[in-house]
Chain A
């Protein structure tokens, strides 16, 4: 007589069995789903970042392999940030004070009006003062020089581009967003006009504007000629080139700011405006009391992403003038690229670290500011 088979003891089903039947715990399934994204980011972002940080502490010139790649500590950074015969200049200090006052006054106003918390006001003010003192007041004396004047040149041009293009893209992006939000039969056309600069490759924007700003056959100088003005050699002289590149960057990036702000505008409840109209608020009051405060999150997002991309500015100056004329438009990004092309890998890594540190500081300040609210 056949024996009844012995009951098998309960065994937890294997991983793949549980995956197929959907019996994984949240933590297991979550890890599984996050894995592809996290692995990609680790390989392409984290690994290079760590390598760069390590490289920045080494001497490494690929065109001088006989010198090896010795560990040199912070020497790359000293060469970058330091110089000989550094002094404080009184005239620059005066400039600092004037600039500081001009920037601190609106900050004070902002704190008084409670657009900013007191803490973030203090942080921003301290940062402003530090930055302007360091950039403007601390420099080599008559007999001294920076160890790497090219770095300071690229640093200041990057700062200029950050300030001008962030302010400019907001000054242009907000009206664009408001206009694109107006109900009209031609709204789609406005939206296409808003989307096209956003979608256009930065290199193409650079080339297009280089053609518009061309000194003999460009449209800009032709319009100026009709107005009776002799237009400058836009891309061959320093000041006009800086202006032209900034105009291009503002044109290209204001549409991104406009898009983010438009998205914010659309999520504002229309009934708020109706209530305000009933209460007798005029258009300006509706704008400052409803639109702007409710747009704050969008403004913050746009500000962060815009500043970060401004710090990394590369494509547009590169496409328009290759960082020229001379090296006047060599942003930090272009400088890193040129240093890499010169095969000075260690120094390029150190520059990259500085770029990253600037991004980090900016992000932290913004985040602090957002969370403080």
Chain B
């Protein structure tokens, strides 16, 4: 077979470059995680040896046992899972409802509302720390305390009582509520773009067949936009699983800590038991790796269809 020699060699050079680039990319993305995995299989003795070893000489799973015995790590995993899953479900539900309204109804304040929702992602979680803390400790329900004081003063047999919102600190709600709010802007944006892609006719046909608007939303629009919901859900889940600051501040009881916060418990005042920490971090990443491996195509195509319209 004959080819124009110039193009072949040029193409081969390009091919080599791309392969090299891909190799570097994989190395860049995965090396820290792989190194963590290797570290978690080494003994603490082996870690403090010079020259350092790359592959574990004495393969051990002891660090993983330590992770679970030194702190209630299973409980951390459970907390993270419950908080993230509930927050994800609520976020996707709220964002779908809002996205549907913003994409398909004739509303006068459509654009300003969408802009306002997206703009709230400018609020750093850090800024909300103190006010939210106070809110979650419990605040007076406006009016009710005064009402009871008034009734008491009128001599109607009521005791003056402070009517407070419940103390949410060290409960799942203290994390679920802010996580929903933190993920809502981006998921609403994605889902709004998704709903705009679904043809109007389908919904109109369903309405003619006797389904209500809300029924059409759940039976026609929701299934068709399932890919967008999966993408939004994954983003919400990753956000919630990764959040650190609010979890650190609101849930201080050991049994209520999430994984990222719980891992800081393994650090001593001066010593860093790296082997155990590596094992704990590895375990904390596993759910995310599973998520990525099963949904990688979904995440990227979801972002393509929805995320970049803003």
Residue of A nearest to B295 (CB): A195
Contact B300 A262 (CB under 8 A): yes
Residue of B nearest to A334 (CB): B126
Complex: A179 Cα to B21 Cα, angstroms: 7
Contact B304 A255 (CB under 8 A): no
Task: Given A186-B22, A201-B284, check contact A36 B106 (CB 8 Å).
Answer: no
For chains A and B in complex, what number of residue pairs have CB atoms within 8 angstroms? 275
| Any B CB within 8 A of the CB of A166 | no
| Any B CB within 8 A of the CB of A155 | no
Identify the stretch in A46-54, A116-124, A273-281 within 8 Å (CB) of chain B at 4 or more residues: A46-54
Contact B260 A301 (CB under 8 A): no
Contact with B308, one of A19, A34, A298 (Cβ below 8 angstroms): A298
Residue of B nearest to A315 (CB): B244
| Any A CB within 8 A of the CB of B213 | yes
Complex: A209 Cα to B281 Cα, angstroms: 12
Task: Given A34-B113, A190-B26, A356-B127, check contact A207 B277 (CB 8 Å).
Answer: yes
Interface size on B, residues (CB 8 A): 96
- CB-contacts of A185-211 with B (<8 A): 186, 188-205, 207-211
**Which residues of the partner chain A approach B292 to less than 8 Å between Cβ atoms?**
192, 195-196, 199
| Any A CB within 8 A of the CB of B131 | yes
| Any B CB within 8 A of the CB of A219 | yes
| Any A CB within 8 A of the CB of B48 | yes
Interface size on A, residues (CB 8 A): 97
Residue of A nearest to B284 (CB): A204
Task: Given A199-B238, A222-B52, check contact A204 B25 (CB 8 Å).
Answer: no
Contact B124 A355 (CB under 8 A): yes
Going nearest first, the 5 A-B pairs with the smallest beta carbon separation are: A193-B29, A22-B212, A44-B181, A48-B131, A201-B242
Task: Given A40-B184, A41-B181, check contact A211 B124 (CB 8 Å).
Answer: no
| Any B CB within 8 A of the CB of A348 | yes
Task: Given A22-B213, A192-B29, check contact A40 B94 (CB 8 Å).
Answer: yes
Identify the stretch in A6-14, A23-31, A82-90 within 8 Å (CB) of chain B at 4 or more residues: A23-31
Contact A202 B97 (CB under 8 A): no
Complex: A316 Cα to B55 Cα, angstroms: 27
B interface footprint on A271-309 (CB within 8 Å = 1, 0 otherwise):
000000000000100000000000001100100010010
Contact B132 A44 (CB under 8 A): yes
Complex: A312 Cα to B182 Cα, angstroms: 14
Contact B50 A216 (CB under 8 A): yes
| Any A CB within 8 A of the CB of B178 | yes
Q: List 22 A-B contacts (CB under 8 A).
A: A29-B101, A37-B184, A38-B98, A40-B180, A41-B117, A41-B185, A44-B177, A44-B181, A46-B120, A48-B131, A49-B128, A179-B18, A194-B25, A194-B29, A199-B242, A202-B242, A202-B244, A217-B274, A266-B301, A305-B121, A312-B124, A314-B126
